[in-house]
Structure 1
Amino acid sequence: MEYQPGVCNIGPTQRRRRLLLGGVSILAAAALVAAVLAVGWPHWTLVLTTFPLYGAAMGCFQYRERFCVGFAGVGVFDVGEGTERIDDPEALAADRKRAVRLNVKSLAVGALGALAIYGIAAVAL
């Protein structure tokens, strides 16, 4: 695997970590929904699932797209031989542009997921 600016900045080991982040985050969202329903908190608190759902989406997108938003932010990549700095300003700009797109996409998924959960709870309960 090879680093490609704005396309790929993580290898298999880092990808597995992002997938784990996604899995743990989806479990956190499920736990939050269960807590709200079990304890009887107001239904509006289900909107807080936006945060773990954002994390789940971010983890899954980073895994699928072989791209780490955090690495882009600090200007590094790790495709298997360890973390290396990015010195080329154009490569760094391409990575950061991609990171913004992934952040926006993940936030949209998190917000829409939370809205769906809230809507289902409002209708069903």
Structure 2
Amino acid sequence: MEYQPGVCNIGPTQQRRRLLLGVGSLLLAAVYVAVSVALAWPRWTLALSVFPLYGAAMGALQYRERFCIGFAGMGVFDVGDGASEVRDEAALAADRKKAVWLNAKAMAIGGAGAVVVYAAASALL
């Protein structure tokens, strides 16, 4: 695997870490919603599921896109040979542009997921 500015900045090992982040966050969201419903917390607390749902979306998107937004912010990449610094300004700009886009997508997905959770709970409870 090779580093491609604005396209790919992590290899298989880093991808697996992002996948675990996504799965763990999704499980956390499910547990949070279950506890919130089981303990009859105020319905507005279901909106807080946006945070783990954002994490789940972020992990899944980074895994799928083979791109880490944190690495882009730090100006590094790791495609399997250890972290290396991005030295080219154009490559760094491309990475940061992709990072902003992925973050926006994760926020939108997390927000939409929280709306679905809230709406489903409101309809069922």
TM-score when scaled to structure 1?
Answer: 0.99
Q: After superposition, what is the alpha-carbon deviation per residue over 1:28-67, rounded to whole angstroms, capped at 9, x for unaligned?
A: 0001101101111011110001000000000000000100
Q: Distance in 2 between matches of 1:63 and 1:121?
A: 30
Q: Distance in 1 between matches of 2:82 and 2:73?
A: 17
CA RMSD of aligned residues (A): 0.4
Size of the alignment, in residue pairs? 125
Specify the code of the residue in structure 2 equivalent to 1:85: E
Note if 1:119 corresponds to 2:119: yes
Q: Distance in 1 between matches of 2:122 and 2:40?
A: 13
Note if 1:41 corresponds to 2:27: no
Which runs of 5 or more structure 2 residues have no equivalent in the other structure? none
Divergent runs of 4+, >6 A: none
Q: Choose 35-44 or 12-21, whichever is displaced more.
A: 35-44
Equivalent residues in 2 for 1:7-18, closer than 5 Å: 7-18=7-18
Which runs of 5 or more structure 1 residues have no equivalent in the other structure? none
Aligned counterpart, 2:55: 55
Q: Distance in 2 between matches of 1:40 and 1:80?
A: 47
Percent identity, aligned pairs only, is: 65
TM-score when scaled to structure 2?
Answer: 0.99
Aligned counterpart, 1:105: 105
Specify the code of the residue in structure 2 equivalent to 1:15: Q
Aligned counterpart, 2:24: 24
3-state DSSP of counterpart to 2:49: helix
Equivalent residues in 2 for 1:61-80, closer than 5 Å: 61-80=61-80
